[in-house]
């Protein structure tokens, strides 16, 4: 028999403690309101860290090392250099957490995957470095806080890479993915870039840029990883839909009703036992 205290729903608590929201928090609520309450309102300790999250953070840190080298004018670093950056970040991500690996996965296979993916990314970065018109890096891991809607808390974003290419402010978001992205996946992810771009309009004007160009850089988790560079065209209609989505989600959050939604994602949820009792 499950402990009823473990399976109880989060209490109806005030959302006044939320001084900001993010794209990630909005997506979390849309996926599972119960998880949102555990993570952002009650701030419950996680039972474990999914290996995918630790991997994503460590992979971003390694790629950040590549961009830092570019900014310093020292060229594309060697594979061992960025792999060391991955190892350090992976250690930091997992040293104080119980890591839950996926089936047929362990620390060694994760590192081997990182090596393949970083090798592919370095090949891509080397080709980029040979282009006649290279972009100027403005910021790496750029933090931004802005007001999207009057009745919604400020939005906080963290953008992987900002570059200035001519009069274009280029916004890049790095993704690691089990497979290549198709048009459907790109369409599902456009709101993230729309949100980032909306918050960057003041910076665009400050830099003298005339438009914002958004792109996803997707590195696949495969035996032979590939790098996709996708530049979706965002329209004003996308901005309107984004604002509607955020407004509706915030209104739902304020109701204080955080129902659970059981799905395949529960297997990797760090609040699984507290929520489901298993």
- Kindly report the number of other CB atoms within 10 A of residue 95's CB atom: 8
pLDDT of 15 reads: 59
pLDDT of 74 reads: 87
The share of the chain scoring above pLDDT 70, in percent, equals: 93
Encode pLDDT of 158-203 as tens digits.
999 999 999 999 999 999 999 999 999 999 999 999 999 999 999 9
pLDDT of 234 reads: 87
Measured CA to CA, the distance from residue 177 to residue 112 in angstroms comes to 16
Encode pLDDT of 49-61 as tens digits.
999 999 999 999 9
**Which pLDDT band holds residue 8 (cuts at 50, 70, 90)?**
low
- Beta bridge partners, 215, equal 172
Measured CA to CA, the distance from residue 128 to residue 122 in angstroms comes to 10
pLDDT of 191 reads: 95
Report the run of H or E that residue 268 belongs to, with start and end. none
The reply to whether the predicted model has a pTM over 0.85 is: yes
Encode pLDDT of 9-24 as tens digits.
555 555 557 899 999 9
CA geometry: angle 38, 43, 47, nearest 5 deg: 70
| CATH number 3.90.320 is the correct assignment for the domain at 49-250 | yes
Domain ranges of the chain: 49-250
């Amino acid at each position: 028999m499950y402990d009823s205290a473990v399976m109880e729903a989060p209490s109806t608590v005030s959302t006044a403690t939320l001084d900001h929201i993010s794209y990630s928090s909005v997506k979390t609520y849309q996926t599972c309101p119960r998880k949102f309450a555990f993570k952002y309102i009650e701030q419950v300790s996680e039972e474990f860290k999914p290996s995918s999250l630790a991997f994503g953070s460590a992979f971003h840190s390694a790629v950040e090392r590549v961009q830092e080298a570019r900014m310093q004018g020292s060229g594309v670093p060697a594979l061992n250099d960025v792999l060391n950056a991955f190892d350090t970040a992976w250690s930091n991500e997992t040293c104080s957490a119980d890591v839950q690996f996926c089936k047929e996965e362990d620390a060694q296979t994760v590192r081997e995957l990182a090596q393949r993916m970083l090798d592919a990314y370095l090949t891509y970065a080397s080709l980029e470095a040979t282009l006649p018109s290279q972009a100027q890096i403005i910021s790496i891991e750029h933090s931004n806080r802005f007001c999207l809607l009057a009745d919604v808390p400020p939005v906080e974003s963290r953008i992987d890479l900002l570059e200035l290419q001519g009069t274009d402010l280029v916004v890049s978001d790095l993704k690691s993915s089990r497979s290549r992205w198709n048009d459907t996946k790109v369409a599902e992810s456009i709101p993230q870039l729309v949100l980032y771009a909306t918050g960057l309009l003041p910076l665009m004007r400050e830099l003298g840029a005339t438009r914002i160009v958004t792109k996803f850089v997707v590195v696949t988790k495969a035996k032979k990883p590939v790098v996709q560079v996708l530049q979706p065209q965002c329209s004003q209609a996308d901005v309107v839909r984004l604002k509607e989505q955020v407004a509706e989600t915030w209104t739902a959050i304020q109701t204080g009703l955080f129902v659970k939604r059981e799905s395949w994602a529960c297997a990797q949820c760090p609040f699984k036992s507290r929520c489901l009792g298993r």
